[in-house]
A = this chain, B = another copy of it.
Amino acid sequence: MSIAAVERDCGVPKDTLRVWERRYGFPNPLRDRHDERLYPADQVATLRLLRRLVDAGHRPGKVVGRSDEDLSVLLRQVGVPAPQVVGSEAKQVLKILGAYDAAGLREVLNALLMRAGLGGFVAEIGPGLAEAVGAAWSRGKLEIHQEHLFTEQFTTVLRSAINAAQGAGLPRRRPRVLFSTFPQEPHSLGLLMAQAMFTLEGCLGISLGVQTPIPEIAAAARAHEADILALSFSSMIPAPQAVAGLTELRGLIPDTVEIWAGGACPGLRPKPGVSVLRALSAIGPAVTAWRAREDKGSTPE
């Protein structure tokens, strides 16, 4: 596996891979005949563990180079804060994924959705499932294609539910919300779940899909006369980049447009003009508050 492939796969930049090798002696890739690094599969797996640990706040110097066993132990400790969340639903989903049962997976997701309702599903079950699958993958318990399958089925189920909710009676009204993610963020699940919550609140939602360049997000906000920009950040995106992007975006749009950021990205902090919604369940109250502010405020145009 070439250095570029590892960068894509583990999310560790090429420069960082080289400097880790220089400083800590790991990874320790083979070389092809032109002296280019070739990473064996097991080292790539270890790198994925390392990425999780570093994201969780461990310092590279302390963890790079240690054995897989050590890392697993640390990872379990990291996981401790939220292990009880791996409820029976997640276990069931992982079991079905293990059996490669695509149709069964969709049935289960649909059943969960029916039982909890769209709001309950998105607020309480969805994030837990996504996290459990992500964790299982990074621990090597799931293959990439199983994670893809989960994402695809989850997307299908959620999209059709959103569709149904949108069609259902409720008149759509403001705030007008624009959804997207930054260019470095390809994950759509968080965005979709947020969209579901806003839809349930009767908002006017417009999605640009994932990975919109920042100036384009600003242009779209103007074009669509958005009240709120809803942005989703997974733990894949480096926190400094997220923060820098938010600052840049804030400078490109009028003060009347709010920015609401959410997702599992650890370093996400509220700033002037940027709200951070830690959980999807916070969206409902936040929309209510927005509408109250709006009603109280100056003449609506």
| A183-B149 in contact given A143-B216, A159-B156 (Cβ < 8 Å) | no
| A148-B219 in contact given A8-B183, A159-B156, A184-B8 (Cβ < 8 Å) | no
Q: Number of copies of this chain in the oligomer? A: 2
Q: Nearest chain B CB to A213's CB is how many angstroms away?
A: 6
Closest to A225 in B: B100
Against B, the Cβ 8 Å flags (1 = close, 0 = not) of A218-252 are 01100110000000000000000000000000000
Check A145–B212 contact: CB distance below 8 A. yes
Q: Which residues of B contact A152 (CB under 8 A)?
A: 207-209
Overall SS of chain A's interface: helix
Against B, the Cβ 8 Å flags (1 = close, 0 = not) of A167-190 are 000000000000010011010000
Instruction: Find A206's partner among B102, B155, B160, B206 (CB 8 Å cutoff).
Output: B102
Closest to A98 in B: B223
Which A246-281 residues have a C-beta within 8 angstroms of B? Answer: none
Closest to A4 in B: B241
Determine whether A92 belongs to the interface, using a CB cutoff of 8 Å to chain B. Answer: no
Query: CA–CA, A264 to B81, complex, Å?
Result: 45
Query: CA–CA, A152 to B211, complex, Å?
Result: 12
Check A145–B8 contact: CB distance below 8 A. no
Determine whether A136 belongs to the interface, using a CB cutoff of 8 Å to chain B. Answer: no
Instruction: Find A100's partner among B102, B163, B207, B223 (CB 8 Å cutoff).
Output: B223
Query: CA–CA, A184 to B4, complex, Å?
Result: 12
Q: Which residues of B contact A100 (CB under 8 A)?
A: 220, 223-224
Determine whether A9 belongs to the interface, using a CB cutoff of 8 Å to chain B. Answer: yes
Check A220–B145 contact: CB distance below 8 A. yes
Instruction: Find A213's partner among B9, B151, B223 (CB 8 Å cutoff).
Output: B9
Determine whether A108 belongs to the interface, using a CB cutoff of 8 Å to chain B. Answer: no
Determine whether A64 belongs to the interface, using a CB cutoff of 8 Å to chain B. Answer: no
Q: Which residues of B contact A208 (CB under 8 A)?
A: 145, 148-149, 152
| A148-B206 in contact given A156-B159, A216-B143, A223-B100 (Cβ < 8 Å) | no
